[in-house]
Chains A and B, each alone.
Chain A
């Protein structure tokens, strides 16, 4: 406690006391937030962590009193600088928003009005809060705000519209808008979840230095424990609408008390990859392997999964390759602006029974490679050999047969299942299309598959909308496995899932690979996940493979600057874990 502290400093800037939020549904009021307490002092930073549905975003929306639709604060107090916000009318809240509390929303794609220019939307925030008056002053302030947020050529881009901005640029605009009126408190609700890792890092660094310079207190909401611990001094872990643990970030990470927090720490890929990294080193130095998560009995241990893989890879390395890609190129013709080379003469091989990860940011061409492998997109030049056969010359019946040996799992478990077909029909459809077995054997196979992906057989007659995201992704995997393929192409198959579910699916994939000798092409933007599942890594940048090596080597000794940037961008890298 330093001398000369004023009374202002001692009072928390934000104090949430026993907050209750309910949503009115047909079956009565559902509690989304149940007794949350948060205390945040001036100039500090605090992160609320939890999976989707934990109530973390609802808490944030309740603090700024912008709950959607039927949501209502049913109890508790929200004190901003000692003033209770729950008692304020809508008109009074308009005064608080902007100057009292700034808000940076989650999805940069949907949070800017598409019909107004960027300048217009920043200027109206400045005008509404009386920061500047007069056209010129407002415009000057808007440019200043955008420049501060990291938009260097703000004066030139003011007249442009949101769709002319990239996701990262839009998020900068949103951060600028949130800070436009110098708020005392800034709530950032998953501000970078929709962005590439390297962009995420730049934006968060910027946000951090901005709030420090302006003396803004930061309330940060995220599902990524590593990210939260790296960016905030205090952590609040939420689960099913309640706070299960809170305290200093480092302490919670090193010594999680609540079983849920322990599971989160164990499952977070950003942390797990570091732990695996650590174990590799430790083995080399013949020092005891670190097991931070031994304390929790039912922990989903990604470490052991990764260790088991090492042996399998050893065995697989002298088999013939399942997939060979040579000089593969894809050029898209764009009307008006010539050609765009999405994939630029790339070559790689995948040995049978192993996993190769194709890593890159959005727009790097990795999904185009997947589409060409599945022959859903034509090849411009180059060769793809699957099991020694040239894909280009495979047509008709042969292609039909080939498809049964090569199956995809896509990113969005909500979009990739037909909502009108029940689970049994969905999983059984490939069998039916390929005329495998009789009705009875197909049914038996569907039940077997459900068992393989650890789902109860009662799901057969259920419909996708009755299942969670993780369950749906299991269904998609079961469907991919129905025809007993040799190759499974996983295009961002775990990116849309919560960390705990993600860990479960990754484990399932590893188990299935060991059991069925599957070959995986694993496409992802998340290097942390790669560490857990892949044997070999190809890093793609702007259509080219810039680095290809075994996973350990890429992580230990990255050759390219781009790979190093990607690795550095994995959140949580700077945190000391328990040892």
Chain B
């Protein structure tokens, strides 16, 4: 097991280097001079421009810049944004917000998706199953901003249950609505995945054997059907969590959530190379870690993987 983890981490190294290099290169290749852009309509003082360029190493060749950046990463220094704020500080402010939003969204989609999927799977072809299929198809077909606006209108404006946008400090109650919006997309996936997995497992020989032992339906469903069916679902959930953690740009934008997605979007618009690169680097790291965790979690769920040599 330990060997497996080490191998996975070693595999992550080239992925990390490759992606950061690619990101750095793309940001570098973006048209326009970000330093000039900082001054807007004003004509900049050449001395100030030169000083800024030196400060952000923009006067060095590309590859040197990359290694300076890499060196910083390994020293735990993520650099400074053009506005003079350390990137680490921006991250520290935005990540907890996104983490809360992602956790809420995962919670909603997990509870709703698995429940609906399980009932659909156990009652294949009945009214509940068909209705769930219809709802899932509608949700999958709708673009997320449409769902977001409908939610804002119905729950925010007409019913007045939630504030339409997230207020200062991003309190949990304000995050519920964007989390629900985020959850709708994956809800459809998870309920369909759970459904087919439950149908699959229900037909397995060991389920019949469990019944032949005299077990009640109430025990067979959670212990022998649901537990086995959840293996692919949990994998999907974990990957989805990774995706949500790196920010939901559109939803965060619509609900004005001060999270990773919105901050990154703004940094890209402003051409803030250091912020973009550092943000994306952290995202890549998170994604890699989540993926390794998914694999390990898989082993927890399935003993065949746990004990395989």
Q: Which residues of A line the B interface, CB within 8 A?
A: 61, 64, 66, 68-69, 90-91, 94-99, 101-103, 105-107, 110-117, 124-125, 128-129, 161, 163-164, 174, 177-178, 180-181, 335-337
Contacts and interface: CB of A to CB of B under 8 A. Distances in A.
A114 B302 contact: yes
A128 B219 contact: yes
Nearest to A69: B203
A125 B216 CA distance: 10
Interface of B: 203-206, 208-217, 219, 223-224, 227-228, 231, 301-304, 307, 309
A178 B209 CA distance: 9
B306 to A, nearest CB: 8
Given A115-B302, A124-B223, 15 more contacts: A68-B208, A97-B212, A97-B214, A111-B209, A112-B209, A115-B231, A117-B303, A125-B213, A128-B214, A163-B307, A164-B307, A174-B209, A177-B209, A180-B213, A335-B309
B215 A105 contact: no
Contact of B206 (A91, A98, A110): A110
A105 B303 contact: no
Given A111-B206, A112-B209, A115-B302, A337 B309 contact: yes
Given A111-B205, A161-B303, A94 B217 contact: yes
Given A115-B228, A335-B309, A128 B213 contact: yes
19 contacts: A68-B208, A97-B214, A98-B212, A103-B212, A103-B213, A105-B209, A110-B204, A111-B205, A111-B206, A113-B210, A114-B303, A115-B228, A115-B301, A125-B214, A125-B215, A128-B215, A161-B303, A163-B304, A180-B213
A116 B301 CA distance: 10
A161 B215 contact: no
Nearest to B302: A115
A32 B120 CA distance: 29
B213 A105 contact: no
Contacts of B301: 115
Nearest to A161: B303
B212 A105 contact: yes
B203 A68 contact: yes
Contacts of A107: 205
A17 B301 CA distance: 46
Contacts of B219: 124, 128
Contacts of B206: 110-114
A66 B212 contact: yes
Contacts of B216: 91, 94, 128
A307 to B, nearest CB: 43
Given A111-B206, A161-B304, A335-B309, A90 B217 contact: yes
Contacts of B204: 110
A113 B307 CA distance: 16
A91 B214 CA distance: 10
Nearest to A125: B213
Contacts of B205: 105-107, 110-111
Contacts of A164: 307
Contacts of A98: 212-215
B302 A66 contact: no
A116 B212 CA distance: 17
A164 B209 CA distance: 19
B213 A124 contact: yes
A115 B208 contact: no
Contacts of B228: 113-115
A96, A99, A117, A128 pick with most chain B CB within 10 angstroms:
A128
B308 to A, nearest CB: 8
Contacts of B211: 66, 94, 97
Contact of B303 (A101, A125, A129, A163): A163
A462 B205 CA distance: 32
Contacts of A125: 213-215
Contacts of B302: 114-115
A424 B78 CA distance: 67
A124 B209 contact: no
A128 B303 CA distance: 24
A84 B309 CA distance: 51
A95 B214 contact: yes
A543 B131 CA distance: 58
Contacts of A97: 211-214
Contacts of B309: 335-337
Given A105-B208, A112-B209, A337-B309, A94 B215 contact: yes
